[in-house]
Amino acid sequence: MAIEKAETLREREKFITTKNWIHEELDKTKNKFNDYDKKISTLKKSSGGTYSDDLILAQQIFDFINKNLHKYEEAKEQPYFARIDFREKRREKESFYIGKFGLNDEENNEEVVIDWRAPIANLYYSGTFGQSYYASPMGIIEGDLSLKRKFLVKDGGLEEIFDEGINELIVKTSAEGNELIDEFLKLNLEQSMSKKLKDVVATIQKEQNEIIRAYKNKPIIIQGSAGSGKTTVALHRLAYLIYTYGNEEKNENILVVAPNKLFIDYISDVLPNLGVYSVKQNTYEELCMEILKIKGKIITKDEKLAKIMEEEQINSVKYITSSSKVKGSLAFKSILDRYIKFLESKDSDVEDIEVEGYTLFTSKEIKKLYIRDLAHLPVKRRKEEIKKYFKQKVKDKVFSVEELIDRDYGFRVKDIKLAINISEEEKRKQIISVYNERDEKKKSLKVNSNKALKEFFSNWESLDLYKCYIELFNNEATFKEITKDTIPQKLYEYMREELNRNSQKKLIDSDDLTPLTYLKLKFEGTNLEKFMHLVVDEAQDYSYFQMHLLNEISQNSSMTIVGDLGQGIYNYKGIASWNKLIEGVFKQDATYIALSQSYRSTVEIISVANRVLEKQNLNLIPAMPVLRHGEMPKNIRVPSKDEEVKLIDTIVNEVYGKKKNSVAIICKTLSQCKELSKKLSKNSSFTWVLIGENENNINMERIIIPSYMTKGLEFDATIIYNCDDENYIDNDLDKKLLYVALTRALHLEYIIFSGNLTKLLQ
């Protein structure tokens, strides 16, 4: 839709006016910030560390000013990215400018910029021209949507203006892909890669927007093909949920579970750029270690995968993968549930609590509370509650025992009085002695009852769960009884030996973290509150048991789960079917959405990757790229190993000549990365960074990285290394690793090999 010159001039004037206003507000806010910073410092000195209403109020105002300061700093170069014109029923048409943050002119009581998460902003992302509506806290607001306008800002200036003339941004045209008619989106997609994942508030598509604004208290599972923006959508959903339902003080009670520390670093800018802070971002292993409150060396899933890929003994691979599969299954959770009952039964085998030969609390009473009445609580909490209850009841129990003492000693006094062979003087002495003994016993009872309780609960200690876990495997009779002899003998022996070997070396296999954490939650609970919301990325690589555990620590199953079965490189233990996850973990109560539109790579790159995806036979809809064309990925045979470095340098020069910035050489394994890194460090004209398994930050310019660590990452150009038929063979793991590697490039892709090209690409 063409925009008139006069309208363009008006928009440019509006843009400049808004920027000037923001700069004025920024200066005012900086002054307020400095004033309150000094005021707080003065109040702290004058209060001397004591409670001060003035100090608390000043701190609250300072925090509010600081938030505004961040908003103005972020908005000063790009105040907004869109405009909509909407006429609410029985009102005049209004123009609303939409930006990353809502900005208010307090003096004129005017909303200068609408936050992208505000209810009315939904019209920009999902509204249709003509009669339209949006949901607000006041109810459904109906009206007429007449304009959707987009602003491309570059270097702080308004560069181009686009009006959307149709409802759909992308028109389906063929099996090859989709015709991209949205020039605004096209210009954004063609930009070079930045060092970290960026927010996409200006280019969120309708299907993505619906996920972002979906209902909170229900798990939502997103099957997203490579480049569909599933990670970005999940993080923007988190920002939306915090804006709509959240309390900033509770942000620490929200968790993003990421596949590795490198990925956490890669996504680390998205939430702060959206004004969201203090959200926990952990790997699954870190989360378990925090719950278990232990430190130690973890054998990570990546290390285990590397071992599987490089292990030459087929039998060893079989046992490694089978052990992982068993420990990650819901069947193993059921085994642990039976073991928990077994341990509870042993733990409840207690005796009466006695004082002075009298029973304060019977073992039957203790067992009833422990096994039945408080069974819904973790064992540690049960014991705490029983102790608390007994402390409250001890006075009544002591009173009841005193009555028994009075009765027993009353009978003795009666016997003395009825005695016929004792003088009255002797009777009197004996009766006094009995009463003294009775009084001493009652006195001792009061003193020792609390002591008896303390000793009982001190002796009734919590179980050493790690020791219990090891004992499960080392007591063969118990193991067979608890597992109902469903695990083959040789596999059981392997699992037992591996666990004992790791224990001796003070290592913890990542496969054992879930069972140990589950035991901890059931027996002791955790000091962590349940998370208000969880984002689980690369979910296809988690086992069903891991997903069950994550669900247990979330409130109301509030989870955003994103993944791609086509990239399930841990398929020996990971999720093979989203339906099985929905049935087994969420009991059918989950929303499933598939995203097949790919915004990352060109048509040519996706078409090559889809060849490998089709060979996986997963019945997944192949990634459908928007029709952004580029060069065909180049298959280059390396004449000899001696010429590899020269070829790589030539490719890098070609990439830079095309004004692209980041290049990744993707090797299948870490050992291949290390070998290539040595060659390049000696002979390449460029400096390369080797990304290892424990890397926690990334320089995207020139890196060498193993295939399994690239998931979620993207680069301007990739070099798929050693892509011959001996390195990538026709098996499930190699199909997935190669698919992951082939879907990382935005613009350029080079496939280099010696010998014959892998059959997976033929």
- According to DSSP, the β-strands at 597-598 and 559-563 are unpaired
| 2 vs 416: CA distance, rounded Å | 117
227 is in an annotated binding site: yes
Q: What is the DSSP letter of 556?
A: G
Structure tokens at 451: 């002591």
Question: Which of 215, 214, 236, 233 lies closest to 224 in space, CA to CA?
Answer: 233
Each residue of 615-645: b (16+ CB within 10 Å) or e?
A: bbebebebbbbbbbebeebeebebeeeeebb
Beta bridge partners of 705: 666
216: Cβ–Cβ under 8 A, 6 or more apart, which residues?
Answer: 241, 244, 245, 533, 558
Q: Backbone phi, then psi, for 659, in 5-degree steps? A: 65, 30
Q: Is 48 annotated as a binding residue?
A: no
Q: Is-contact 275 72, C-beta < 8 A?
A: no
Could you tell me if 266 and 281 are in contact, meaning their C-beta atoms sit under 8 angstroms apart? no
Q: Is 228 annotated as a binding residue?
A: yes
Check whether 226 is labelled as a binding-site residue: yes
229 is in an annotated binding site: yes
* Residue 38 in tokens: 């000094």
Neighbours of 94 (CB within 10 A): 12
- Residue found by looking up tokens 């999720």 in the block: 575
Quickly tell me which residue has 């996504």 as its tokens.
267
Q: Which of 457, 478, 492, 322 shows the shortest CA–CA distance to 379?
A: 457
**DSSP state letters, 652-673:** HHHHHHTT---EEEEESSHHHH
Residue 194, annotated as binding a ligand:
no
Euclidean distance between CA atoms 677 and 632, whole angstroms: 27
172: tokens are: 């389906």
Those residues with Cβ within 8 angstroms of residue 344's Cβ, 6 or more apart along the chain or in another chain: 370, 371, 379
User: 295: buried, middle or exposed (CB in 10 Å: 19+, 13-18, 0-12)?
Assistant: exposed
HSE, side-chain direction, 13 A CA sphere, residue 441:
20
Distance CA 196, CA 503 (A): 38
Positions at the binding site: 224-231
Positions at the binding site for ATP: 224-231
